[in-house]
Amino acid sequence: RLFATHPGRSPEHLYATLAQLASALMTFSTGAQLTDIPAYDHARADEVFAKLESMIRDLLDAIIPSRVVSIGLARKTPTTWTGQFLDERIVGDAADWYLSVNAPMAAFELVEQFPRLCKIGAPDDVEHIINSALLGIPLKAVQRVPAAIPVRLDNQYFALDSSSAAHVKMLAARACQIYLPASVPDASLELYAVLRS
C-alpha cells in the first residue's frame, strides 16, 4: 500500500521490500536458497521483478497451498486440447472440476451449445467418443464458481459431472483430452480442480 500511495519512490525500495519478504518466506522452504533471489538491476527491472514475484508466489503456495489447481492445457490441434494431472491431491475424488470457456459467440448460445458440443474425458476415451458420437463427461453451466477460481467477465463456466464413469476414467488416466468442433472458433479453455477440503 505504501508504494501504491507514494509512486515517486524508487524501484530499489520496492525491490528491497520484496527481497526481504522472499527471504523471510524461505525460512519455511527446504528447496529455496537466498542465492535464488535475483540481484537488483535497474536496466532489467522488469525481469528482476517478474522473477521475484514468481518466487514469492511459489513460496506462498508451498506454505499456504491453494485450494485450486489449474490444469495446463496444451492445444494440440485447432479442435483438441490435452492436459496432465501432476498434482497428487486431485487424482482421487477430492476435487470438483470446472471448465472456463471464452469464445466469440453470444453468452446464451455458448451456455446452451457448449455442453452438447464439447467432449471431455481420458485421452483414449475422447478419441472413441468423437468417432462414435457419444457423450464424454457431462457438463453443466454454472453461474457461480468457487472463490478460488479466477473469474473472467467474458468467460462462461461449466462444472464437470464427477459421478460419471468417464470422469472416473479421466482421473485414473491422470490426463484429459478436450474436443471442441470447429463450429466454435477461437475458443480458449481453462480447466480447474478445486479441492473440497
The helix or strand, by DSSP H or E, that contains position 163, with its residue range, turns out to be: none
As to burial, measured by CB atoms within 10 angstroms (0-12 exposed, 13-18 middle, 19+ buried), residue 98 is: buried
pTM: 0.69
Q: In whole angstroms, what is the distance from residue 74 CA to residue 142 CA?
A: 24
Q: What is the pLDDT along the chain (197 residues), one digit of tens a residue?
A: 666 777 778 889 999 999 999 999 988 877 888 999 999 999 999 999 999 999 998 888 777 667 889 999 999 999 999 999 988 888 888 899 999 999 999 999 999 999 999 999 999 988 888 877 677 899 999 999 998 898 888 999 999 999 999 999 999 999 999 999 999 889 999 999 999 87
Residue among 189, 193, 183, 170 nearest 76 (CA)? 189
- 163 to 69, 131, 159, 171: CA distances (angstroms): 20, 23, 12, 12
Tens of pLDDT, residue by residue over 37-91, are 999 999 999 999 999 999 998 888 777 667 889 999 999 999 999 999 988 888 8
Alpha helices in the chain, H assignment, sequence order: 2-5, 11-25, 45-63, 107-117, 123-132, 165-173
